[in-house]
Amino acid sequence: MKDSQGQVLYVGKAKNLKNRVQSYFRASNNHSPKIKKLVKHLRDFDYILTDTEFEAFMLECQLIKSIKPLYNRMMKSPQSFIYISISLTGNHRKIDIAYNPIENDGRVYFGPFTSRRNVEKALRGLKECFKLNCSNPNGTNSACLNYSLGSCLGRCLEGPAEQQYNDILDRFIGFLKGTDMSILEDMNQMMLNASEAFDFEAASAYRDHIQAVNSLLKKEKVIEFTEENHTIAAIERLTDSTIKLFLIKRTEILFSHSFAAAGSISEKIKANILAYFKKDEANAAGEISRHEIDAAHIIYRYLHSGSCSYLIIPENWLEHENHSTLDLALKNLLNNHQHSQPPIYNE
């Protein structure tokens, strides 16, 4: 979307462009002030057609990053990415939310996460299940209000409850690292106990808490998968006779092209893999940066959506003596994909 000077105001994607554009002019009374201001300055449009929704998501992400349109920035909080922060030492350790991790500050950070709401919901569930809601956490040796209400272990009284609180935090750290699932096991047992006692309202609350806490681990998997710096070949069927190939490295599409799903397609895919995934140019795995997060989520979601079939290519497959292994893997990938149906996009 452009203003009268041709400056890009906003970048967005849509399956149905006509409906998306019309939505900005219909029911304007329900629009936010930012949307109303955008429409007021809007004078022209450009559009780019893509073969797949995945390409549209990635292109939108790329254009927003490179152009930095005013209204994309206005509609996205500068504190978009958040972290869970847990202190490692001290008598009164804390679990909190942070926006900018600080190195060597005596705390461990997990994330980044893209939804503050989801993280807050998970932490609230953890605290309610394990009675971590102390309203006087500085330990003045007097019971806080939440202790009298049954939602605090009693860390405000110091003594054994403080150690019990710290043990729960250590187990939660283990959970976020993927090494200790006892937190979830205990929560599942709480839900089962409530159900057996016919307290179905409490059981339902425990179920919601479990789902919220478990979602933290799913977000961590996106980051972990991206940090491993995979080399990926993904295939999506466009029509009965056409497929689209994507060659992806970390958070970047290095190559994309449509092919007729017949003939020597395996050789064509192999040739592009060897051309774009050169062994001596492979980058070492490393920590994912903030500007990569949006693309990482798009790619991870796409690979696990069922819209495509994909192959993670180990670096040694690029060596000449292992090309037969690559040939077999591509043959299996194409055989598994050939019976899939092209996606149907609802208007």
Q: Which residues contact 19 (CB under 8 A, 6 or more apart)?
A: 347
CA dihedral 245, 251, 254, 257 (to 10 degrees): 20
User: What pLDDT is recorded for position 282?
Assistant: 47
Contact 312, 230 (CB under 8 A): yes
Calculate the CA 164 to chain-centre distance: 32
> What are the domain boundaries of the chain?
17-74, 82-226, 228-337
CA-CA distance, 291 to 152, in Å (whole number)? 39
CA-CA distance, 219 to 209, in Å (whole number)? 16
User: What pLDDT is recorded for position 243?
Assistant: 93
Write the DSSP symbol of residue 142: S
Give all strands (DSSP E) within the chain, no chain letters. 82-87, 95-98, 107-113, 231-239, 242-249, 252-260, 309-312
User: What pLDDT is recorded for position 46?
Assistant: 93
Residue among 245, 219, 265, 220 at smallest CA distance from 310: 245
Query: 308 vs 49, 171, 301, 342, CA distance in Å?
Result: 19, 37, 11, 10
User: What pLDDT is recorded for position 168?
Assistant: 92
User: What pLDDT is recorded for position 280?
Assistant: 52
CA-CA distance, 94 to 107, in Å (whole number)? 9
User: What pLDDT is recorded for position 137?
Assistant: 64
CA-CA distance, 97 to 84, in Å (whole number)? 5
216: which 2 tokens? 């933290």
Residue ranges in the chain whose pLDDT is less than 70 = 74-80, 137-140, 279-285, 338-347
CA-CA distance, 288 to 251, in Å (whole number)? 9
User: What pLDDT is recorded for position 261?
Assistant: 81
